[in-house]
Amino acid sequence: VQAAGERFAIPQVNLEELLMLHGEEGHQGIENIYGAEVYRLRGELLPILRLNNILKLPSQKNVSGNTHIVVLSAGELRFGMIVDEVGDTEEIVVKPLSRHVKQLYCYDGATIMGDGKVALIVNVNGLFRATQLTLDDMKKVEQLNVDASDSGAVAAREGRFARLRVHDDGPG
């Protein structure tokens, strides 16, 4: 993937799917809950990270207007990461990081790509730690959504029942 013109590698074992939201769909589909961005993917809330923000890279103007979301998982954790571009799958050789870079939670290693350029390999668990949204928060939000839909259904039923009573109270 690319962010701010830099290339990064994601371990394929952590990659679930790739999403491309076209134009305004990308901006409207991303919500803000408890100060963190989320996207509703097939009815499930997916925390969203922006690779540029996590790695403190400059944001670039998206020329295509499309939003690229890489859906990642690591054990129970599942989240989406917005990147500038998505590249191809490649077999890579992982090179260990120096002891200075090893201390950073976002990287697992580095690799030399087919064109000779270096790409850092991101640590999916480390990236998730950068989110403000915890798994407990996600469960609370899901419960709130269930409660809201249940109360909406109850209110609709009560509204229909009230209308029936109003009609029953009429003359005759």
Tokens of 45: 């809330």
User: Which positions ≥6 away from 121 have C-beta within 8 Å?
Assistant: 8, 9, 10, 11, 92, 94, 107, 108, 109, 110, 111
What integer pLDDT is reported at residue 31 of this predicted model?
A: 85
pLDDT digits (tens, 9 = 90+) for 26-56: 566 788 877 778 888 888 888 888 999 888 8
User: Which positions ≥6 away from 99 have C-beta within 8 Å?
Assistant: none
Residue pointed to by tokens 């990308």: 26
pLDDT in tens, the chain (172 residues): 999 889 999 999 999 999 998 876 656 678 887 777 888 888 888 888 899 988 888 877 666 778 899 999 888 888 899 999 998 888 888 888 787 776 677 888 889 888 888 899 998 888 777 655 556 666 666 666 666 555 544 444 444 434 333 344 444 4
What integer pLDDT is reported at residue 154 of this predicted model?
A: 44
